[in-house]
Amino acid sequence: MLRLLTALLALVLGHAALPAQAQNGPLRIVIDEGVIEPLPFAVPEFVAENAAAAEYAQNITRVIAADLEGTGLFREIPREAFLSTVTSFASPVQYADWKAINAQALITGAVSVDGSGRLSVKFRLYDVYSQAPLGDGLQFGGATGSWRRVAHKVADQVYSRITGEGGYFDSRVVFVAERGPKNERAKQLAIMDYDGANMQALTDANSIVIAPRFSPTGDRVLYTSYESGFPRIYLLDVASGQRRMLDDQPGTMTFAPRFAPDGRRVLFSLAQGGNTDLYELDLQSGRRSRLTDAPSIETAPSFSPDGSQIVFESDRSGTQQLYVMPANGGEPRRISFGQGRYGTPVWSPRGDYIAFTKQNQGRFHIGVMRTDGSEERLLTASFLDEGPTWAPNGRVIMFTRETAGAAGAPGLYTVDITGRNLRKVPYQGQGSDPSWSPLQP
């Protein structure tokens, strides 16, 4: 168990390092100019404890493996290399067989489906070199239609036990699904699992929609719609599909909404008379409070996780830059000082970083910096990268990348905060403006 916990130390400290097994020695940390050696794991197909569970067992095993390998921190050992088979969840582990193929973590499980169609999945995680379980076995249940969620929950548990960080697989993403040519795209809100599965529409495509944002509990979405001819903020209930317009004041435009951590207040930009400032709206009372009062454009606000501060973008210095101020207003302080323009800041759920979009010398970047503006690090570079959103554990960022040219199209990508493991989210179609939900209850 100690050897796998060594992996936790490397990940928590944020170093570009992961455990690698020496040929004849103990597990050790390898740091080699940011090159990470993924941890080898084995996940034999989960045992189907009755005939109705056979297909689910196979599919659940594949989703667990894909979740872990997709992080870039783990490497699945192919089934062809296995020296042992697992035919019963109660069978003792043949540690020597797994050690011989260099598996450092072993995941075993079993699946059953009862007469009412309810799915039950149990699993255990083992540290092969310590020859001991890593934590207790767990069991999850649900309707057979929720088998993907159950698989994600298992993967979250494995990820957390090995890294010491929270998982992010049992989460969803709301985004703008797009179709059609570049100069005439139809746009609608859609929601999907973090890995692109189970996509479904939340709105029609009759009007332009942008900037959806999840509530802290993942049950509501804020977004901006142009269906009235001007940008207006709407609040949508994900389960029922019911929605309502917020702060419909004549002569104003409202946009760039985001929830406060308590879920009861909303930050947004309001434009009136040629001026754009930040406001806060109490969702229950409808009371609106002005937070900034400047001739510049203030937009894209985001709360710190404790709700005490707000980061936002402003051109008050003459160019688009990032500022932080107290949550109830007050004098902002600039935190971005590199070359180029900065926008769309989002505070990490861990509170340690702010992600942003940067434009410099004709290139767009997704980057992160400390909350005081120090340690700026650019994670991507492209024709157009924009709009970061954080995974629930604060380790991965999703964003929009659009390709160049007349046939260019937007897609969703993820990248680790170290700048590694850039991946396209494997869903069908085009998409932009992602917002990552918290873990589902």
Calpha distance 267→257 (Å, rounded) = 5
pLDDT of 137 above 90 = yes
pLDDT of 209 above 60 = yes
Calpha distance 47→266 (Å, rounded) = 47
Q: What is the pLDDT of residue 35?
A: 52
Q: What is the mean pLDDT of residues 244-248?
A: 91
Q: What is the pLDDT of residue 405?
A: 85
- List, as one string, the DSSP characters of 303-360: E-TTSSEEEEEE-TTSS-EEEEEETT----EE---SSSEEEEEEE-TTSSEEEEEEEE
Judging by DSSP bridges, how do beta strands 353-360 and 275-282 pair with one another? Answer: unpaired
Whether residue 198 contacts residue 437, with contact meaning beta carbons closer than 8 Å, is answered with no
**Could you tell me the two tokens for 110?**
């079993």
pLDDT of 16 above 50 = no
pLDDT of 366 above 60 = yes
> 183 vs 249, which has greater pLDDT?
249
% pLDDT > 90, the chain: 84
Q: What is the pLDDT of residue 33?
A: 41
Calpha distance 55→358 (Å, rounded) = 46
Whether residue 294 contacts residue 316, with contact meaning beta carbons closer than 8 Å, is answered with yes
Q: What is the pLDDT of residue 23?
A: 35
Condensed to tens digits (0 to 9), the pLDDT of residues 82-118 reads 999 999 999 999 999 999 999 999 999 999 999 999 9
pTM of the model: 0.91
Residue 441 confidence class, pLDDT cut points 50, 70, 90: confident
Condensed to tens digits (0 to 9), the pLDDT of residues 63-88 reads 999 999 999 999 999 999 999 999 99
- On the 0-12 / 13-18 / 19+ scale of CB atoms within 10 A, 249 is exposed
pLDDT of 15 above 80 = no
Q: What is the pLDDT of residue 208?
A: 92
Strand partners, 209: 225
Mean of pLDDT over the chain: 91
Condensed to tens digits (0 to 9), the pLDDT of residues 281-299 reads 999 999 999 999 999 999 9
> 348 vs 26, which has greater pLDDT?
348
- On the 0-12 / 13-18 / 19+ scale of CB atoms within 10 A, 3 is middle
Q: What is the pLDDT of residue 182?
A: 78
Residue 26 confidence class, pLDDT cut points 50, 70, 90: very low
